[in-house]
Amino acid sequence: MPMELVNPHAAGIDVGSRSHYVAVGQQEGQVREFGVYESDLQQMVAWLQEHQITTVAMESTGTYWQNLFAALQQAGFQVLLCNGKFTKNIRGRKTDVQDCQWIQRLHSLGLLTGSFLPDQATEELRTYCRHRASLLETVTVTTQKMQKYLRLLNLRLDVVVRDVTGQTGMAIIEAVCQGESDPEKLSCLRHGNCRRSAQEIAQALHGNGRRDLLFALRQELGLYKVLQEKIAACDLAIEKLLKEQVEADGRKRELKADPKPYKRVNKNAPRQMDLNQLAFQYFGGVDLLKIEGVSHSTVLTLMSEIGAEGISKFATAKQFCNWLKLCPNTKVSGGRILSSHIPKGSNRLKTTLRNAANAIGNLKDTHLSNFFRRIAFRKGRQAAVSATARKLAVIIWNMLSKGLQYMPPTQYLFLDEKRKLKLVQRIKKNIAKLDLQPQDLGFATT
């Protein structure tokens, strides 16, 4: 039975690191190999135009597809970027020529679906944020090496301070690298907020003074400082890009977000910028930080992975959750459910939402934390993290696509709000106890 031809002027490209194979048909002379240089890409565009091709399908192979994708889009082709699992060949097709012909056949019959791709501004922001995340991973490795050399020097700083890269830890490490070895003098660098006393810190800082380990520690400390400077420069680039996008829209420029002093800023989150205000303007007046458990890093990841208008590419919240792979992959055969596990694989946004869901599980008396505990009681914490992450994704989709604000059934009070409420209740109680009138307190009444 012949299948209907959906895209008659379609081409398929097998993307490679050194060459690309392009098929405009299934005949032997309808396949051609092109290089990866800019001149080769322009020759490919001209060859496709000669064959009156209007739409092209390709696999998302590593990062080799990006320049080719941009060249084809600039030439006016409709480009479909497909996941490799949707273009897996049938048995026996193992050559590059057969691969590109198979992609061309599937695309001609309309059997391929495209992947989500952000706009140019979001892609630029994504590059900055992913580079920043890579720098943070390198900082983590450098910090672990500093702890290792301190331990080998018998300077057990990791025992007496919670974070060796905090104010107390960095002051002591810099003094050690400058040649200071007296424990009493090192303990005097203790910050006032440190829980351990100066005597306890001095007791842990009797080192052996090995020159080789001190040299390695100095090297790692210098690398740590350089990485911190790189991260600060990356934060400035992110802030500049976000402000440019906000200033380009007059309506967003006039928006003003409510201050949120109760939202803790993680040490790895950008500190130079007011992310609360920028995110509120970026999303057109939708305040995502009002959701409990959603941090500044969560919002920044959402901005870099989806963008301001990217949520509109998902028609329903179910499609958004399916793209995040937070929906159960139910398999039914013979009327029986064989499995309903969440499919494998994750992207950065899914990981961020799961981290936010894990933080929600540690809160008390909130709408989402109560939902988390109900799921955790029946199926365990891991299932509760996935279910709460999916619920967060649905909430975010509704807020961004419909322009709604977060209105949970039960409002959550943060620490500062709880203190204010308790203070007001205590004052009211004292006024009632002493039977005070407004005139007694100096309040004018009408």
Query: What does the pLDDT read at residue 3?
Result: 78
pLDDT digits (tens, 9 = 90+) for 386-412: 999 999 999 999 999 999 999 887 666
pLDDT digits (tens, 9 = 90+) for 241-270: 999 999 988 888 889 988 888 788 888 888
CATH 1.10.287 spans which residues of the chain?
121-241
Query: What does the pLDDT read at residue 321?
Result: 92
Query: What does the pLDDT read at residue 412?
Result: 61
Angle between helices 381-402 and 367-379 (to 10 degrees): 150
Query: What does the pLDDT read at residue 39?
Result: 93
Query: What does the pLDDT read at residue 87?
Result: 76
Quickly name the fold that domain 10-108 has: Nucleotidyltransferase; domain 5 (3.30.420)
Query: What does the pLDDT read at residue 177?
Result: 93
CATH 3.30.420.140 spans which residues of the chain?
10-108
CATH 1.10.287 for domain 121-241: yes
Mean pLDDT per block of 10 residues along the chain (446 residues) reads 83 92 89 93 94 92 89 92 77 78 90 87 93 95 94 91 90 92 90 88 89 94 95 94 90 88 82 88 92 91 91 92 88 82 84 94 89 93 93 95 86 69 83 79 64
